[in-house]
Structure 1
Amino acid sequence: MNIYDAVKFRYSNRRYKFEEIDEELYKNIVDYANNIVPVFRKAEFYIDFIKATSPVNYLTNYRPIVAPYYICFFTKTNLESNLNMGYVMQAFSIYLTSIGLASSFMRPTGIKLVEKDGLKPVLMMAFGKAKGLPYRDVKYAHRHALDRFIYKYDECDDFSKGMIDYGVLAPSRLNQQPWRFEKRGNDIDIYLYRRFDSYRKADEVSVGAVLCNMLLYAEEKWHKAKVELNRVTVSHFKNADYICSIVLDSE
C-alpha cells in the first residue's frame, strides 16, 4: 500500500500481538522515523524507540495499550513543537499502516522516561502487529460532514475541499474533530474550537496530524504547499482560535 492510500485506512489500533518484527524491517522503521522532516525545523525535538521486554500494561488515560514497541517524542511545549509532534507522529503512523503494522497515539504514562537536554517526553505511540486487521475502511472513520468543517463551504474550490477531506481523517482526542477551515485566496486557514485548557496541547498536536494528511494530498496532486503562522488577523469564528495556514503555490 502506498503512503497516500494509507491515509484513508490508518486508524488507532489498541490490540497487538506480542511478537517481534523482523530485524531488518525494524531497522527500516527506525530509519524512516529518524528521517521524517518536521514542519518547523527550528523547533527542537528528538524521538526514541522502546522495545517492551514483556507484555506489561502501559496505561493511557483510558485503557491499557499492551504493545511490543513504542516510539516516544521528546520536545518543548509550544505551538510549533506541538504541530511538529502531530505531523511527525502522523507521518510515522501512516508509514506503519502502509507496511501492514498497527499503531496508536498515547500519553507517556506508566513508563519512566527522563527529560533530556531540556526536552520532555510528551507523546508516545504504540505499534506492532495487530490482533486482527491493521486497517480500517474509510467509511468507518466517523467524521463530520465536510460542510461542517469549512467556513463558506459553497465558495471553497474542489481541490481545497479534497485537501481538507483528507486532513480531517487525522486522529483527535476523543474523536472530537475540533478543526475548522477557511479558504482565503491561496491560503487554507486552520482554526481550533476552544475547549478545556487541558485539551489544548492535544488539539494542537491533532492539527499537526491534519497538516501531515493535507500536505500528502497536495504532494500526490502535484501541488506545492507550505505551512505558515500568523497569516490571519481577523477570525470569522467566535469560538475558535486561528492556528496556522497552508499556503498553496499560485502556479
Structure 2
Amino acid sequence: MNLFEAIFVRKSVRSYTNEGISPKVLEDILKQFDEINGLFGGVETELAIFDNRQNDYKMLSLLGIKAPYYLVLYSEEKDRAMMNAGYLMEQLSLYMYTRGIGSCFIGNPIIKKKYQYRDKKRMMVVMAFGKPKGSCYRKQVEAKRLSLDELCVYKETPRQWMKQLLDAARMAPSSMNSQPWRFVVFDSRIHIFSKKHPSDKLGKWDEVNFGIMFANMMTAAEEMWLDVDLIRLDELSQKNFQNNQYVLSAILRP
C-alpha cells in the first residue's frame, strides 16, 4: 500500500492497544517528516513523539481519545501556519497507515504548559497514534463523506484524472466531519472555497482541515504525475461570496 491508496481506506482510530512500536519504526516516522516539504515555504516546524504508554502525557480531547503515542507538530506562528501543520501531519498519518499504524487528529488537547512551546515554536496539531484495537482500515464506501456532486460545481465535463484528484480530496478527514471545502472546477483549474464563517475568516480548525485536504490532493497529483501550483487569485479574493469564502486555486498541468 502506498500513500495514495491509504487515502481511500484509512479511518480515524479512537481505540488503541498499549503495545509498543519499535524504535526503528518511530525513527522512520521522524525521517519521513524530514523528507516532506511544507505547503508554504519559510515556516519552521518541528516534530515530537510523546510516549504515553505509562500515561505520562495526560492529553484530553473532546472525544476522550487515549493513545500510547502522540505526534506533536510545533511551528512558528506565521500566516497559514495551521494549514501548513495540517498538511504535514496528514502526510505522516497516511505514511503510518502504510505501516499498519492507526491515528486520529485531536482537537483542543489539554496539556501542561511546559509542552505547549518548543524553541519558540507553538504546538499546532496533535495526533494520537498506535496499534489499533481491530483494523485501522475500512472500505471507501463506508466513509461518511459528501459526494463529488455535492461538493463540486463543474463549468464543463471534468476529465477522469480531475475526478480522481477531487475524489482523493473529498476523502480527507476534518474536525467533526465538517467537510468545509467546496470546489469550482474549470478545465485544469480548481477554485477552492470554504463554507463561510461569521467572522469572514477561516476558523482555527478549518485552517488545519484545509491543510489535510491539500495533503490528499497533492498526494493524488504525485501519484498521477500531475504538477500543481497553489495560488491565490486577486480577482476571486476581492469578491464577496454569499455562502462561501475563497481559499486558494489549484492549477494543474498533466
> Shared topology, TM-score over 0.5?
yes
Partner of 2:209: 206
Partner of 1:169: 171
For residues 204 and 131 of structure 1, do their structure 2 counterparts lie closer, same or farther at Cα, with a shift above 3 Å needed?
Answer: same
Which runs of 5 or more residues in structure 1 are unaligned? none
Question: In the aligned structure 2, how far is the partner of 1:79 from the partner of 1:151?
Answer: 29
Q: Secondary structure at the match of 1:64?
A: coil
One-letter code of the match for 2:129?
F
Among candidates 122, 125, 132, match of residue 123 of structure 1: 125
One-letter code of the match for 1:163?
L
Q: Is the 8 A contact 1:72 1:108 kept in 2?
A: no
Quote how far apart the aligned CAs of 1:35 are: 2.2
Quote how far apart the aligned CAs of 1:145 are: 1.6
**What is the percent sequence identity of the aligned residues?**
29
User: Are 2:248 and 1:244 equivalent residues in the alignment?
Assistant: yes
Among candidates 223, 226, 229, match of residue 226 of structure 2: 223
Question: In the aligned structure 1, how far is the partner of 2:118 from the partner of 2:24?
Answer: 28
Q: Is the 8 A contact 1:34 1:47 kept in 2?
A: no
Aligned length: 249
Quote how far apart the aligned CAs of 1:153 are: 6.2
Question: In the aligned structure 1, how far is the partner of 2:88 from the partner of 2:21?
Answer: 21
Partner of 1:133: 135
Which runs of 5 or more residues in structure 2 are unaligned? none
Per-residue deviation, residues 132-185 of structure 1 (Å, max 9, x unmatched): 101121111111121111123654333222211110111111111110011234
Among candidates 190, 203, 222, match of residue 188 of structure 1: 190
Question: In the aligned structure 2, how far is the partner of 1:192 from the partner of 1:128?
Answer: 32
One-letter code of the match for 2:136?
P
Q: Is the 8 A contact 1:45 1:76 kept in 2?
A: yes
Q: Is the 8 A contact 1:106 1:124 kept in 2?
A: yes
Q: Secondary structure at the match of 2:171?
A: coil
Q: Is the 8 A contact 2:6 2:94 kept in 1?
A: yes
Range moving further from structure 2, 40-49 or 130-139: 40-49
Question: In the aligned structure 2, how far is the partner of 1:235 from the partner of 1:152?
Answer: 20
Partner of 2:48: 48
Quote how far apart the aligned CAs of 1:45 are: 2.1
TM-score, structure 1 as length reference: 0.90
Q: Map 1:100-119 to 2 at 5 A.
A: 100-107=100-107, 109-112=109-112, 113-119=115-121
Query: Cα RMSD over matched residues?
Result: 2.2
